[in-house]
Amino acid sequence: MSQMSKLWRGAGVVALVVGLGSFYAISTQASAGAATGAPITVGVVCTCSGSFGADIMAAEQTYEAWVDTTNKAGGIDGHKIKLTLEDDAGNPGTSVSDAQTLVSDHVDAILDFSIVDQAWASTVQASKIPVVGGDETETPYYTSPDFYPEGQTNDSVTYANVLTAKKAGATNLGDLYCAEAPSCAEGVPPIEAAGQKLSVPVVYNAEIAATAPNYTAQCVAAQQAKVSAIFVGDASAIISRVAANCAQQSYTPIWITEGEGFGLQMAATPGLKDKLWSDYGTAPFFDHIPAISAMNKAVDKYYPGLRNNQNAWTQIAAEAWASGILLGDAVTASHIGTTGTPGPAEIVKGLQSLKNDTLQGMAPPLNFKAGKDHSIDCWFTARVQNGAPTVVNAGRVTCEKG
């Protein structure tokens, strides 16, 4: 991505740039396409360092690959995309400051890959700058009319987790959730309610920390509670460690994860390689639809080797690519053409004009109504068998409301 179209700011950036210098050197070599319209400015609030940094950084890079690919082709209707990237390192205070900076910069849209976005959701809502895609499992995507998700929102994810467990043969459920983000603990009451509704009761829940030396205590407790399936809400590397620890105790329940937490290294993990089921808010990153193939080609071009990093290359990267498509579809639907000036109001107009948009097959049908929260209650499902991830239900979505 050209240095004219990308600006890095925020906590932890120096260390990240040093560690990922080869990636950025390649990205800055992208050639420019012909574009005559005013640029579309997008601000990114990203937890690109800290406990979740590895997973989320890959998503940010995937979004950059989408931007580079789009700009090289001439932008969106003749408008190139200019990014400002803010790293909040998972710190709420830093995140609020980052969001305020983007609002002051009068960006046209915001991409949200922050795990503490609730701290600044009201700030963005007051500014009327749309948040177009990102980590759609965060709470603001189904509680704020200014957050536009590119896939299933978290208010139905817990229902999807339990229904997926039931389809996998579970009779009850255990819930292990991350200790680092408030949104993880917030998921406990909803999954208990969904378990009761679907007759798959939650009989055990516990917090897990990424820095813990092992998770033997949680495994033993779940085994003693006779848990038949365990949902783990955490990063893929942590999920693998938990399952491996349980396997060491000769405890191999059905494992349930949100697809966002799935990484390919999990497919080779004892316990997971034959008994893992996941629900995905967007099409699984290992699917073979054309949009996924386009994503893979772009990432390999601008960040070669990234897709081989099985700890970093997870579903959240596919969410980033789908978020880019959502922005592109919104700008096109706004009908600003090559001579119009992009802005928050124009992008909102485009978003609210979309009708059953599936983002080239990457999302459930998307419709956004003015002044309404944008709850999306449909998802994709996949499982791991013999160490290989497979999309089930022929790639069709399942919906909470039928």
Spatial separation of the C-alpha atoms in residues 330 and 178, rounded to whole Å: 34
Domain identity same for 276 and 387: yes
Please check whether residue 190 lies inside any domain of the structure.
yes
Q: Domain holding 388: CATH number?
A: 3.40.50.2300
Q: What pLDDT does 7 receive?
A: 56
User: Can you spell out the DSSP letters for 74-140?
Assistant: T-BTTB-EEEEEEE-TT-HHHHHHHHHHHHHTT-SEEEEE-TTGGGTHHHHHHHT--EEEE-TTSTH
In angstroms, the Cα distances linking 282 to 23, 213, 241 are 26, 33, 25
- Taking only the tens place, the pLDDT of each residue in 32-62 is 446 678 999 999 999 999 877 877 999 999 9
- Taking only the tens place, the pLDDT of each residue in 65-89 is 999 999 999 999 999 999 999 999 9
Domain identity same for 97 and 227: no
Spatial separation of the C-alpha atoms in residues 203 and 356, rounded to whole Å: 38
Domain identity same for 26 and 142: yes
Domain identity same for 12 and 146: yes
Q: Output 285 or 51, whichever has higher pLDDT.
A: 285
Domain identity same for 341 and 324: yes
Please check whether residue 16 lies inside any domain of the structure.
yes
Please check whether residue 124 lies inside any domain of the structure.
yes
Q: pLDDT confidence of 155, banded at 50, 70, 90?
A: confident
Domain identity same for 256 and 324: no
Q: What pLDDT does 28 receive?
A: 29
Q: pLDDT confidence of 393, banded at 50, 70, 90?
A: very high
25 has pLDDT over 80: no
The overall average pLDDT reported for the chain is: 90
12 has pLDDT over 70: no
User: Do residues 169 and 196 touch, judged by C-beta distance below 8 A?
Assistant: no
Comparing 76-90, 166-180, 244-258, 261-275, which segment has the lowest mean pLDDT? 261-275
Domain identity same for 159 and 145: no
Q: What pLDDT does 263 receive?
A: 82
Range of the domain at 194: 154-280+380-399
Domain identity same for 161 and 102: no
Please check whether residue 354 lies inside any domain of the structure.
yes
26 has pLDDT over 70: no
Q: pLDDT confidence of 402, banded at 50, 70, 90?
A: low
Q: What's the average model confidence in pLDDT over 195-201?
A: 97
Please check whether residue 1 lies inside any domain of the structure.
no
Domain count across the chain: 2
Q: How many CB atoms lie within 10 A of CB 248?
A: 13
398 has pLDDT over 60: yes
What percentage of the chain has pLDDT greater than the value 90? 77
Reference 303, options 25, 75, 31, 82; nearest CA is 25
Joined together, the tokens standing for residue 302 give 């601008």
Domain identity same for 120 and 181: no
Type of residue at 300:
D
Please check whether residue 334 lies inside any domain of the structure.
yes
Domain identity same for 126 and 216: no
Reference 216, options 192, 183, 259, 250; nearest CA is 250
Please check whether residue 330 lies inside any domain of the structure.
yes
Domain identity same for 14 and 114: yes
Joined together, the tokens standing for residue 20 give 């990922």
Joined together, the tokens standing for residue 125 give 């809502």
Q: What pLDDT does 158 receive?
A: 86
N-term to C-term CA, the chain: 43
Joined together, the tokens standing for residue 47 give 């937890």
Most distant CA pair in the chain: distance in Å?
A: 66
Domain identity same for 91 and 215: no
DSSP-assigned beta bridge partners for residue 83: 6, 42
Joined together, the tokens standing for residue 100 give 């305020």
pTM reported for the whole predicted model? 0.84
